[in-house]
């Protein structure tokens, strides 16, 4: 149990002492319904994180963000740099989803699904407990002199941390390089791939430093989502709350006229940010729910109802009233739905290929033997996740005037090709701003795109028999 002297000072951040020095936190272990559920949630989330670069959909990784080539593979869909504007909708959709979650359930994301919590609580702290023992023993070990045992335990812990940091950083890199390429790079050695090696070392150092030393500071000091909570939440938001009406005044279990809180400090001892939730909801609370389980343990021992600390709204705690739907929730949900709908429509319309007209360099046109001549190329990019064959055709009415030396090509994903196009319009038929349409068809999807080519020529074409060349 935590000593009362060890309680956080309300004049400073909970993890700082009066001089601004950091209190390193050694949260105690706890068992309860939420803490039993957490390892399952963490396992699923870590499995998804590790699997996404390995699992292939339509022949490509489920998620592959190829920045150098500006090719993006997302769950079977393919995008290139021209589609980058879609990121606005994707990011705003994710952003609004997190805002809705924060308005309704506070820091549910932070306590249960944020990678910082998942890896720190689900992996690194578990290893620490396994090697160094429970909280009190860990603290004694850290504060005690260097001994053979301390050295051995610390060395083992840091060696495992380092290996994990290397693995996590390489999985992260696999999102950007693909697993196959990363495997080849590892085999060929760092000297061949200094750029990727630099990022691997940097990510490893950040992950190792964060999970070994920085820990809860990231949630409290750096994370912008944590800073925004105070404006996203209101008194109807469901958070981890202490029921002060039931708990106060605090006092010994057998004392007359006191509330249910026996002031045991167990809720502080298990808190990973070292706060006292009985002082009200605080910005350092990441919603991990461990204090709920800790207090429930005490209540069960005292034969009192569980839930002195529980998920509830401030309004319910203060006035016994619950209000789920309120204006801000409607506004957030409507904004989120608009973003999601637009993103879905735009992404579902994502074309399977791109076809753009490029004029050849040099003279835009020439007039030769009574013929206005233009040459250009139609640049086609295959944006499908698999190879496909493209055809170029022209309406029969233009067939005599449009030369297509190559009418068909098969392209792999994100490969491109320039179809040459030559226009030969007799001067007698030439009209200023006349347009010829070339159709590009993807044989796999059957999707076609018309590429209009405006015929360039003189404003006042010479007589058909002049033969003047420009
Ligand atoms: S107050 Fe409770 S829910 Fe909040 S961080 Fe501490 S233990 Fe977790
Ligand atoms: S709220 Fe519960 S765990 Fe916290 S001090 Fe009171 S009785 Fe103990």
Domains defined for the chain, CATH in brackets: 1-350 (no CATH), 353-454 (2.60.40.10)
446 conformational bin, left if phi > 0, alpha if psi -120 to 50, beta if neither: left
More confident residue, 12 or 348: 348
CA–CA separation, 259 vs 250, rounded Å? 6
In this prediction, residue 269 carries a pLDDT of: 95
Whole-model pTM?
Answer: 0.81
Which residue has its alpha carbon closest to ligand 2 atom 6?
Answer: 261
Pocket test of ligand 2: the residue of 266, 271, 293 to mutate, having most ligand atoms within 8 Å of its CB, is 266
237-284 tens-digit pLDDT: 999 999 999 999 999 888 888 999 999 999 999 999 989 999 988 888
Q: What gap in Å lies between CA 427 and CA 407, rounded to an integer?
A: 26
Phi, psi of 441 (to 5 degrees): -125, 135
Nearest CA to ligand 2 atom 1: 261
DSSP 386: S
Ligand of minimum distance to the alpha carbon of 275: 1
Backbone CA torsion sign across 282, 286, 292, 298: negative
How much is the pLDDT for 466?
Answer: 44
The radius of gyration computed from the CA coordinates of the chain, to the nearest angstrom, equals: 33
Mean pLDDT of the chain: 88
Q: Which residues contact 395 (CB under 8 A, 6 or more apart)?
A: 437, 439
Could you give phi then psi for residue 111, rounded to 5 degrees?
Answer: -80, -20
Q: What would the mean pLDDT of 303-312 be, rounded to a whole number?
A: 96
Average the pLDDT over each of 63-67, 245-249, 332-336, 401-405 and give the range with the smallest value: 332-336
pLDDT of residue 184: 93
242 CB under 6 A from ligand 1? Answer: no
* Bridge partners (DSSP) listed for residue 420: 377
pLDDT at 458: 81
Three-class DSSP category at 330: helix
pLDDT band per the 50, 70, 90 thresholds, residue 349: low
Residues with CB under 6 A from ligand 2: 242, 247, 261-267, 278, 294-295, 298, 308-309
Whole-number pLDDT of residue 11: 55
Helices 125-132/135-143 angle, 10° precision:
70
Provide the pLDDT for residue 12: 59
- pLDDT at residue 91 in the model: 79
d(CA 270, CA 6) in angstroms, rounded, equals 13
């Amino acid at each position: 149990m935590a000593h009362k002297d060890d309680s956080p000072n309300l004049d400073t951040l909970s993890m700082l002492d009066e001089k601004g020095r950091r209190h390193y936190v050694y949260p105690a272990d706890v068992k309860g319904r939420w803490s039993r559920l957490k390892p399952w949630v963490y396992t699923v989330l870590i499995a998804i994180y590790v699997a996404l670069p390995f699992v292939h959909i339509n022949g490509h990784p489920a998620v592959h963000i190829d920045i150098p080539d500006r090719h993006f593979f997302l769950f079977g869909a393919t995008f290139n740099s021209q589609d980058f504007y879609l990121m606005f909708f994707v990011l705003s959709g994710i952003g609004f989803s997190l805002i809705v979650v924060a308005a309704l359930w506070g820091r549910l994301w932070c306590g249960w699904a944020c990678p910082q919590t998942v890896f720190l609580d689900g992996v690194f702290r578990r290893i620490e407990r396994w090697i160094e023992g429970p909280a009190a023993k860990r603290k004694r070990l850290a504060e005690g002199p260097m001994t053979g045992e301390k050295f051995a335990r610390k060395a083992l812990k840091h060696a495992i941390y380092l290996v994990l940091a290397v693995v996590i950083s390489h999985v992260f890199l696999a999102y950007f390089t693909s697993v196959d390429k990363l495997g080849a790079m590892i085999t060929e050695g760092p000297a061949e791939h200094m750029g990727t090696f630099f990022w691997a070392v940097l990510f490893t150092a950040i992950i190792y430093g964060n999970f070994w030393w920085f820990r809860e500071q990231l949630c409290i000091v750096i994370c912008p989502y944590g800073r925004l909570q105070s404006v996203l939440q209101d008194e109807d938001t469901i958070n981890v709350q202490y029921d002060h009406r039931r708990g106060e005044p605090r006092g010994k279990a057998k004392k007359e006229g006191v509330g249910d809180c026996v002031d045991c400090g167990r809720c502080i001892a298990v808190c990973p940010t070292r706060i006292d939730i009985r002082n009200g909801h605080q910005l350092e609370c990441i919603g991990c729910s461990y204090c709920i389980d800790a207090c429930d343990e005490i209540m069960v021992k005292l034969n009192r109802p569980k839930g002195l600390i529980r998920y509830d709204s401030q309004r319910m705690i203060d006035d016994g009233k619950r209000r789920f739907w309120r204006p801000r929730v409607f506004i957030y949900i409507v904004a989120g739905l608009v973003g999601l709908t637009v993103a879905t429509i735009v992404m579902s319309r994502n074309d399977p290929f791109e076809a753009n007209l490029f004029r050849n360099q040099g003279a835009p046109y020439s007039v030769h033997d009574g013929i206005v001549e233009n040459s250009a190329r139609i640049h086609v990019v295959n944006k499908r996740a698999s190879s496909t064959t493209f055809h170029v055709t022209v309406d029969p009415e233009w067939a005599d005037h449009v030369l297509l030396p190559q009418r068909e090509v098969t392209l792999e994903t994100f490969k491109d090709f320039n179809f040459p196009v030559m226009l030969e319009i007799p001067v007698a038929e030439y009209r200023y701003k006349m347009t010829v349409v070339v159709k590009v068809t993807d044989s796999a999807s059957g999707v076609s795109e018309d590429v209009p080519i405006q015929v360039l020529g003189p404003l006042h074409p010479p007589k058909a028999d002049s033969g003047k060349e420009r």
